[in-house]
Structure 1
Amino acid sequence: MSHLFPTYQRWEIEPEKAAGTILYGKDGQQYLDFTSGIGVCNLGHRPEAVEHAVKEQLELFWHVSNLFPQSIQEEAAKKLAEGSGLGCVFFANSGAEANEAAIKLARKATGRTKIITFLQSFHGRTFAGMAATGQDKIKQGFGSMLETFIHLPFNDLEALKNEIDSDTAAVMIEIVQGEGGIHVVTNEFIKEAAKLCAENGVLLIIDEIQTGIGRTGKPFAFQHFCIEPDIITVAKGLGNGLPIGAAIGKAELSEFFGPGSHGSTFGGNPISTAAAIAVMEIIFNEEFLKEASAKGRLLFELLHKDLGCMEVVKEIRGLGLMAGIELTVAAQPILAELRKSGLIALPAGEKVVRLLPPLNVTAEEIEKAVSLMKEIISKSKVTAK
């Protein structure tokens, strides 16, 4: 009998150790890991530079509380500010906490309460996170949600124009909807949304929890478009496995987050912050991002070439090294067969296979993964188009 709440539908693989792109199971098998811990281990498992930074900080101090100034937090905040073009950072422990901070900051700064988000979105499992999320399935059984969250169709500009008003504090959006099925924002929509926000005194919040820290080939996914968000949120890939999140805002918003306005006991923990600094030193390097972008192009080229002709494959979409393969059949049986063949991938809804390989994945590993997918899907009573 397990003493854990059964909140997760566990897989059959129990990890024993991991390094790079490879996870070693207690079953004695090796698995090519194209989940990256759900977009967390962007440098793969146990990257040397991050491991060294963590060990170094472990020998200094682990926790002192945010009553103390900590130069390690200032260094990490500076890297986030420079990488995003924004000015101030609040450190949290997770993506949900980062989004909570962003929502609180937007409401406090504007004096308004309405937050516009989008159908299929995912912003976390706290009450504000659930209320912001545009998926009913994660809200079932928890009673009434927090008020003043409005959910609109994704990429629907007319709906946004009709909803945004003087009561709106913020528009909150993912550049790529991760949990919602790997849907990418259109260039027209995000640019017009940013313009509408500016014209109406509404803050634009970009949820970069899954798309941030190099996942799409830029430090942050919004940088593929000519927009200037007011707040962005990050977590997952920031600590490469160490728990950390952050809300990053324009410098002029700092007056609304003064002493006592918000806080977190473990936010900006020095161990996690040391990991984040090491991660950003690698990933925010221009050459590293160029290589990651090239690998993303290779991934989509091979997916379209090898899977695009299959009847069961409805659509292939994504950005950078964040790919979704929408099927006409349930994804879970195919994912189970992939694991048996040595490849670990993710679902993103009922019929979408999601690939989130580490950013330093090799071309050979990408080719192997796509080849395995082709083999498994071709056995699923699939015929070519």
Structure 2
Amino acid sequence: MVYPNLDVSEMFVEREAQRSSMHTRHLNEQMVRVLKTIGYDVGFQKGTGQYLFDREGARYLDLLSGFGVFAIGRNHPVMRDAIKSVLDADLPNLVQMDVSTLAGILSEKLLENVPYMDKVFFANSGAETVEAAIKFARNATGRNEIIYCDHAYHGLTYGALSLTDDTNFRSGFGPLLQGCSVVPFNDLEALEKALSSKQVAAFIVEPIQGKGVNLPSDDFLSGALALCRKYGTLFIADEIQTGLGRTGKFLAIEHWNIEPDMILLAKALSGGHVPVGALLTRKSIFDKIFNRMDRSLVHGSTFGKNDLAMAAGIATLEIMKHEKLVENAAKRGAEIRLALQNMIPDFELLKEVRGKGLMLGVEFGPPKSLRLKASWNILESANKGLFCQLITVPLFKDQKILTQVSGHGSHTIKLLPPLTITEDDTKWIADSFRTVIADSHKVPGAIWSLGKTLVDNAVRKSA
């Protein structure tokens, strides 16, 4: 049988010029419109490590890393070899009426890094691990309620969305999962009030919130864990974005020396190639779900332990260990944070730089000078958080740095680069931010002309 040409890389080259038209016709037209409006439709052709290359061959520094997926950088050769080795081996993948050798190996390697945990459940994504955690918590405790924090983001499937505090994501999709209630982040008094009913199965929290890069107070996570123990509630640490070295520790919770009942991982574990999620928990919890032979399949995920995903996870952990990427995240993150913090006295629009490791938030806020205040207020009245686009767009177009505002209506730009960035990259970041922030303080100026364009677009959308 003669097959047509299935060289997918060749297909990419042949059809690249049609990417926008194909998406407009068959996929998300609004995303195409967004990219064209802000000038991001450059047609990326290649990705290597922390760098992207557009159709003109220009090199960009990626501070978004696919929402944290590419912690080891794009197209790492060791990762590619690991995946190829699985494809070349004709392994008996997903037999289902068998157990997976590679899943056993990846579980072993994960638990070596988190020795107080005993069991691993594999899924296909971070949102799937959140869904599993909800089910595990309710089954293990016999309780119904789940508590989460304001400004939280836990995913967009129905259970995960029910724990995501963002009306922009939730609007139009209700009613959501019953029994889910929100408490303020960093408010132990409110948390205790919620837990005191003894009806709460679990409290789920991001150790550092992705939306806004909000850090917990020194006593919040340890205090929350103590309250969970007091009232019989399980503590779930959502480390889907913060885990696997992102914050300069293998897990972000290590900064506060706590040991939760469940830990959720995904994103970076995939190596950027094969989606995978992992829920780590204690045997006492796991055994309440899978408590009899006839319940051995009571929860699962068809592709959850597929060999390609397991190989990607194994390779990711080995690359991180061999290249000391956790240590690099701590070092480079500290350098970037210090360089940006040192700019605060020079720029009235720059308010705070916060975070740990290579998860950083650069926050802007209202100026004091009358001329800047007038321009700021025009932007804010058109669309809250619009000012940050005056930073991210010139960072991209003029400085060749890809980054993103940390959430809808936010004044914080989030930096989430691959953990492979170098000293030269940190200088690139610092110099670029200084240039663009300095330009944002010039009124009138090119950046505020961009602001007028964005305001006009926002007004047209609302009309």
Task: Tell me the TM-score normalized by structure 2.
Answer: 0.79
For the Cα contact (< 8 Å) 1:65–1:266, is it kept in 2?
no
Of 405, 410, 414, which aligns to 1:347?
405
Q: Report what 1:290 is aligned to.
A: 327
Q: Deviations over 1:124-176 (max 9, x none)?
A: 00111110112222100112211111111100111111111310000000011
Q: Does 1:368 align with 2:398?
A: no
What does 1:34-73 align with in structure 2 at a 5 Å threshold?
A: 34-61=63-90, 63-73=93-103
Q: Does 1:269 align with 2:306?
A: yes
In 2, the alpha carbon distance for the partners of 1:257 and 1:286 equals 38
1:318 aligned counterpart, secondary structure: strand
For the Cα contact (< 8 Å) 1:216–1:322, is it kept in 2?
yes
Task: Letter of the 2:199 partner, please give it.
Answer: D
Q: Does 1:204 align with 2:204?
A: no
Q: Does 1:216 align with 2:273?
A: no
In 2, the alpha carbon distance for the partners of 1:237 and 1:53 equals 16
Going from structure 1 to structure 2, the CA distance change for 1:249 and 1:7 (only over 3 Å counts) comes to farther
Q: Report what 1:378 is aligned to.
A: 438
Larger radius of gyration: 2
Report the alpha carbon displacement of residue 84 of structure 1 after superposing the two structures with TM: 2.0
1:12 aligned counterpart, secondary structure: coil
Q: Report what 2:316 is aligned to.
A: 279
Q: Which has the higher strand share?
A: 1
Q: Report what 1:30 is aligned to.
A: 59
Going from structure 1 to structure 2, the CA distance change for 1:249 and 1:152 (only over 3 Å counts) comes to same
For the Cα contact (< 8 Å) 1:99–1:129, is it kept in 2?
yes
For the Cα contact (< 8 Å) 2:204–2:235, is it kept in 1?
yes
In 2, the alpha carbon distance for the partners of 1:307 and 1:229 equals 36
In 1, the alpha carbon distance for the partners of 2:142 and 2:42 equals 49
Going from structure 1 to structure 2, the CA distance change for 1:61 and 1:230 (only over 3 Å counts) comes to farther
Q: Does 1:231 align with 2:254?
A: no
Q: CA RMSD in A?
A: 1.8
Task: Letter of the 2:433 partner, please give it.
Answer: M
Of 209, 214, 218, which aligns to 1:187?
218
In 2, the alpha carbon distance for the partners of 1:291 and 1:372 equals 21
Q: Does 1:3 align with 2:61?
A: no
Report the alpha carbon displacement of residue 184 of structure 1 after superposing the two structures with TM: 0.9
For the Cα contact (< 8 Å) 1:307–1:374, is it kept in 2?
no
Flag structure 2 segments of 5+ consecutive residues without an equivalent.
1-23, 291-295, 366-384, 444-463
**Structure with bigger RCO (C-alpha 8 Å, 6+ apart):** 1
Of 393, 397, 405, which aligns to 1:336?
393
Q: Does 1:357 align with 2:417?
A: yes
Task: Tell me the TM-score normalized by structure 1.
Answer: 0.95
In 1, the alpha carbon distance for the partners of 2:149 and 2:268 equals 23
Q: Does 1:240 align with 2:271?
A: yes
Going from structure 1 to structure 2, the CA distance change for 1:2 and 1:74 (only over 3 Å counts) comes to same
For the Cα contact (< 8 Å) 1:43–1:240, is it kept in 2?
yes
1:314 aligned counterpart, secondary structure: strand
Q: Does 1:300 align with 2:330?
A: no
Report the alpha carbon displacement of residue 120 of structure 1 after superposing the two structures with TM: 0.3
Of 62, 72, 81, which aligns to 2:111?
81
In 2, the alpha carbon distance for the partners of 1:313 and 1:109 equals 47
For the Cα contact (< 8 Å) 2:330–2:358, is it kept in 1?
yes
What does 1:250-265 align with in structure 2 at a 5 Å threshold?
A: 250-258=282-290, 259-265=296-302
For the Cα contact (< 8 Å) 1:216–1:321, is it kept in 2?
yes
In 2, the alpha carbon distance for the partners of 1:348 and 1:240 equals 22
Task: Letter of the 2:394 partner, please give it.
Answer: E
For the Cα contact (< 8 Å) 2:65–2:417, is it kept in 1?
yes
Q: Which has the higher helix share?
A: 2
Q: Does 1:150 align with 2:181?
A: yes
